[in-house]
Amino acid sequence: MHRFTLILVATAAGASALIWTNAAAQTDPPGKARSEYRDEFAAVSGGHYFGEDEPEAVKRLTPNELKAWLSYGSDNFNRAQAKGQVAQLRDRLDAANALTTQQAQLMERILLAERGRQEQAVKEQYAGRRLSSLGSTWYGARLCASDELGISVADQFMTQTEDFSRQQIAALAPVLSAEQLQVYQQIQRERVAQQRKFQARTPAITGWLPVSATCGN
């Protein structure tokens, strides 16, 4: 099974697109089945979390019930993305520097808090502005852009991505060891580079989204 990253983009033409980009490839043992349950969690967590920590009640949900339970922007959706980030770091660490259960739990809480803080900050920054594009990343960054600022959509998205990366690193630094933090910083560099590559090959966006569009959409 391959790891992947999801970026949701809304364009000025009113269309939206789900963009999947390759991350570091990692495969499951041969013959290991991919259930719809695993796929739903993988789809919202960058391919890093498969719902293994969920209670039995969640594991018994029907596919449609699970889709609703993991609906975009819900607490369950946000938590699955935070768990995906924890799993991504855990998978990159060697045995000598493995995350403890306490570290993983603290990371999840911090990542959820940083997600909420960044989303609120972007909402406030773009309040009252006519929007040109909206987007998000699987690791929780809310992306907004407006032609009113006289800055390209790509540059606005990159600024928000880079700021979010720095803020996540700063928030998690007290929780991680020096060795763990070094690996996490590398993950963040890869995320920023991936977003920059995506923006470079995306056609320039100009114009406006519907008046009803906000950074909270």
* 3-state helix/strand/coil string of the chain: CCCEEEEEEECCCCCEEEEEEECCCCCCCCCCCCCHHHHHHHHHCCCCCCCCCCCHHHHCCCHHHHHHHCCCCCHHHHHHHHHHHHHHHHHHCCHHHCCCHHHHHHHHHHHHHHHHHHHHHHHHHHCCCCCCEEEEECCCCEEEECHHHCCCHHHHHHHHHHHHHHHHHHHHCCCCCHHHHHHHHHHHHHHHHHHHHHHHCCCCCCCCCCCCCCCCC
Compute the average pLDDT of residues 195-210.
89
Banded pLDDT at 213 (limits 50, 70, 90): confident
Q: How many domains does the chain have?
A: 1
Residue 212: inside a domain, yes or no?
no
The whole-number pLDDT of residue 217 equals: 66
Residue 90: inside a domain, yes or no?
yes
Residue 64: inside a domain, yes or no?
yes
Two structure tokens written together for 211: 């008046």
The more confident residue out of 20 and 145 is 145
11-49: pLDDT as tens digits: 444 444 444 344 443 444 333 335 899 999 999 999 999
The whole-number pLDDT of residue 180 equals: 98
Residue 124: inside a domain, yes or no?
yes
Compute the average pLDDT of residues 1-15.
45
Residue 42: inside a domain, yes or no?
yes
- Of 26-30, 109-113, 163-167, where does mean pLDDT reach its minimum? 26-30
User: What is the pTM for the complete model shown?
Assistant: 0.81
C-alpha radius of gyration, the chain, whole number = 18
Share of the chain above pLDDT 90, in %: 76
- Of 18-32, 74-88, 190-204, where does mean pLDDT reach its minimum? 18-32
Cα–Cα distances in angstroms (integers) from residue 209 to residues 56, 125, 133, 206, 215, in the given order: 41, 17, 7, 10, 11
**Residue 82 confidence (pLDDT) above 70:** yes
Instruction: Give me the domain span that covers residue 162.
Output: 4-200
Residue 208: inside a domain, yes or no?
no
Contacts of 79 (CB under 8 A, 6+ apart): 108, 112
Average pLDDT over all residues of the chain: 87
Residue 113: inside a domain, yes or no?
yes
The whole-number pLDDT of residue 100 equals: 98
Residue 207: inside a domain, yes or no?
no
